Amino acid sequence: MNNLIQLRDRLLPRWTWRPLLIVAIFNLLVYYLPKLLQPYLAFHTVSTALDRMLPRVPFFVLFYVIAYAQWVTGFLVISRDSPERCRRFLAGDLISMAMALAVFLLWPTIMDRPSISGKDVFSRLLGLIYSSDTPTNLFPSLHCLQSWLCFRGAIGLRRAPKGWLWLQLVLTLLVFAAVVLTKQHIWPDILGGVAFAEAGQGLARLFRAERIFGRQESKARK
């Protein structure tokens, strides 16, 4: 039993529990609240010539889905590096997501998605996503925001697996491609995701936003 507890604490130290739980709950709120308020929002349609030229490539839905696993593992690896890094990184995520929520509510965007005719497994998976996810919450792209944070936060980690930074970079670039090649976003949404992620991390450092998680317990430094 003690060995299991020690393994748990190595994989997910106690200092990560509260901040990760707060972030998970808030991120779900940011995604679902604008969806619930859709009947009361005035949407704007934004499109670009480049996005109209880009083809839909159903295969890239694979990387769109893999992004969810990237976020979970990426945030865990970053958070367990040290209490200070955990709290500041996750505080930056909260700020980024709060800014995204404000845009989703004050200037919500929507897009037209082409119908799906393919019968291959990737087209079917993309069709499932289309049917379960309305084409809203577009700018900034939360997919790109969270994936960029996984790459950004991997820089300088002391306890990351070998090659972790490069893995995060490759996955993040594939997610960037996936959001436009699955017609879930347009390319400015990618830039918005990166910009909001960077702004959140910068504001967290500037205002020492890690304090929103309360006092750091000394035992968390063990």
pLDDT in tens, 160-217: 999 999 999 999 999 999 999 999 999 999 999 999 999 999 999 999 999 999 865 4
- Whole-structure pTM value: 0.93
C-alpha 83 chain-centroid distance: 21
| Run of H or E including 7 | helix 2-11
Average pLDDT over every residue of 129-153: 97
Q: Which of the residue ranges 44-48, 94-98, 102-106 would you say has the lowest mean pLDDT?
A: 44-48
Token pair 């507890």: residue: 5
DSSP 8-state symbol, 159: S
Q: Pull the structure tokens for residue 177.
A: 């491609």
Confidence of residue 2 (pLDDT cuts 50, 70, 90): low
Calculate the dihedral angle through the C-alpha atoms of 83, 88, 93, 96, rounding to the nearest 10 degrees. 170
Instruction: Look at residue 7 in the predicted model and tell me its pLDDT.
Output: 57
Kindly state the percentage of the chain with pLDDT values over 70.
92
- Dist. CA 152–CA 74, nearest whole Å: 10
DSSP 8-state symbol, 80: T
Query: Which residue type does 110 have?
Result: I
Confidence of residue 222 (pLDDT cuts 50, 70, 90): very low
Confidence of residue 77 (pLDDT cuts 50, 70, 90): very high
pLDDT (tens digit, 9 = 90+) per residue, 103-123? 999 999 999 998 898 889 999
Instruction: Look at residue 50 in the predicted model and tell me its pLDDT.
Output: 94
- Dist. CA 97–CA 95, nearest whole Å: 5
On average, the pLDDT of the chain sits at 92
- Residue 34 has, within 13 A of its CA and on its CB side, a CA count of 29
Confidence of residue 221 (pLDDT cuts 50, 70, 90): very low
Q: How many residues belong to the chain?
A: 222
Confidence of residue 218 (pLDDT cuts 50, 70, 90): very low
Instruction: Look at residue 161 in the predicted model and tell me its pLDDT.
Output: 92
